[in-house]
Amino acid sequence: AQTVPFVSTDEIRTRFSRAMSDMYRNEVPQYGTLLELVAQVNEACLQARPELRQAMQGSGELERLNLERHGAIRVGTAQELATLRRLFAVMGMEPVGYYDLSVAGVPVHATAFRPVSDEALHSNPFRVFTSLLRLELIADAQLRERAQQILSRRNIFTARALELIAGFEAAGGLSERQADEFVREALETFRWHSEATVDFETYTSLQNAHRLIADVVCFKGPHINHLTPRTLDIDAIQAAMPQRGINAKDVVEGPPRRECPILLRQTSFKALQEPVHFSDHVGSHTARFGEIEQRGVALTRKGRQLYDELLSRVRSMQGAGSSAPDYGQRLAQTFGEFPDSHERMREEGLAFYRYRLTDAGRAHAREALQALDGDPAHGLHALVNRGWATAQPITYEDFLPVSAAGIFQSNLGGQEQRHYQAHAARQTFERDLGAATHDELALYEQAQQRSVEGMVQALQAQVK
Ligand code: OOG
Ligand code: NI
């Protein structure tokens, strides 16, 4: 029988993300500077736009804003990935989405561990973008073999962390004391180690195959490589960074600035060249960086298709790679085709919303139910137009493969551009992970649907 009450997985996640943030601030001081800048810009933004403050208060996002982060790690084996899945489960984080980055010349595929329920997201949406190295993409068989050997010798988890994970799985939770211990032990996996596990020559040959391979293979563990706060105005941050001595990458990844933000915009900066002790030599390694993101509404399949199409149009323009000086202009111009009002995005079925009944709606319960009875999409517009319901944009909680590739590239140092004969390998990834990944579109769809059902129930209760 259970005698000690369990700490909720939400609470463990919050403690862990705080501990991770504190650790990273010590390891990478510029991250601390960035947090201050983001807090200032967010506050100024909320002050200048009371309607934004109100909307974020209504959706519960205001409370989570300053606590919100995502991080990223890279691992080398199926065993490591599968154990991470169990570790993140202790914090209520599940694998969502599959990202194939080989198409962008980065030899990894990935998922994002994050909370999935409305309540858990509300409490703390901490996410970790987790990549698995695809050793099969190393062309040189000998080098591939060597990398495999090195990886097979390391254990990235502490013995106590493994015990606590098993204990969580057996008992269904952790006690107060165990939870704190778990946070401490789990954190060890993501710490930076300045001693490499290999000699300088091995590091160099892996580095030459791809810088990312060296980053994954030559160290004791998957050091957290960035931790990203969420801003309400990424252009303001981008402009202010140089004054704080931070050199951001040239372009902001993702959609252009808009009245109604969609998906995700991100920018990053190179943070550190860190001294590394190889077994025979002192050298350095560049792995860790800083990143900022701004999140907007989640898009439906149709909206996402339009986004992908417009983005690829901009990127394939003659002389308009994302490094071209007029990239931002072309991006903004091309995205003129993407409706920039929530009303139109709703009407055209481009984005997801959470619907809520208003007092006026409650007062017209019978008519409201009738409106919803026929074509529900049509009915929802009618309700919102009459002021009987509100439609809150559902925040995009995931990542974007093209943006992620841009972030990877800009932080690998050097103009690394490889071409892999690769294809998405979702099944292999899920086999290695030991579980299926959630379909992110289905999660947004369900969140929208739950809100509609909640509204219908409230209306039915009203007419009874
Ligand atoms: C992950 C890069 C992807 C993002 O925000 O898109 C990412 C990495 O560099 O390991 O974090
Ligand atoms: Ni990131």
Burial per residue of 44-57, b for 16 or more beta-carbon CB atoms within 10 angstroms, e otherwise: eebeeeeeeeeebe
From the CA of 129, how far away is ligand 1's center (Å)? 6
Predicted local confidence at residue 323, as pLDDT: 66
Strands 94-100 and 264-270: unpaired
Q: Which amino acid does the sequence have at 419?
A: H
pTM across the whole model: 0.94
Domain count, the chain: 3
Predicted local confidence at residue 421, as pLDDT: 67
- 266 close to ligand 1 (CB < 6 Angstrom): yes
Question: Do 287 and 329 sit in the same domain of this protein?
Answer: no
From the CA of 290, how far away is ligand 2's center (Å)? 8
Note whether residue 4 is domain-resident.
Answer: no
**pLDDT, tens digit, for every residue of 61-100?**
888 888 888 999 999 999 999 999 999 999 999 999 999 9
Question: Do 309 and 426 sit in the same domain of this protein?
Answer: no
Note whether residue 1 is domain-resident.
Answer: no
Assess whether pLDDT exceeds 90 at residue 427: yes
Closest-approaching ligand to the CA atom of 254: 1
CA distance 125 to 371: 35
From the CA of 407, how far away is ligand 1's center (Å)? 6
Question: Do 130 and 215 sit in the same domain of this protein?
Answer: yes
Beta bridge mates, 270:
289
Question: Do 201 and 139 sit in the same domain of this protein?
Answer: yes
- 52 lies in which domain range? 9-296+397-433
Predicted local confidence at residue 91, as pLDDT: 98
Q: What phi and psi, each to the nearest 5 degrees, are found at residue 364?
A: -115, 40
Averaged pLDDT score across all residues of the chain:
92
Strands 127-133 and 69-75: parallel
CA distance 158 to 165: 11
Assess whether pLDDT exceeds 70 at residue 3: no
Assess whether pLDDT exceeds 80 at residue 319: no
CA distance 435 to 96: 11
- Tell me which of 316 and 112 has the higher pLDDT: 112
The rounded percent of the chain whose pLDDT value lies above 70 is: 96
- 131 close to ligand 1 (CB < 6 Angstrom): yes
**Which of the 8 DSSP states describes residue 281?**
E
Question: Do 270 and 214 sit in the same domain of this protein?
Answer: yes
Q: Please, which residues have CB less than 5 A from ligand 2, an ion?
A: 72, 228, 291
Note whether residue 173 is domain-resident.
Answer: yes
Q: Report whether 87 contacts 229 (CB < 8 A).
A: no
Note whether residue 419 is domain-resident.
Answer: yes
CA distance 28 to 24: 6
Number of Cβ within 10 Å of residue 392's Cβ equals 19
Question: Do 317 and 259 sit in the same domain of this protein?
Answer: no
**pLDDT, tens digit, for every residue of 96-115?**
999 999 878 889 999 999 99
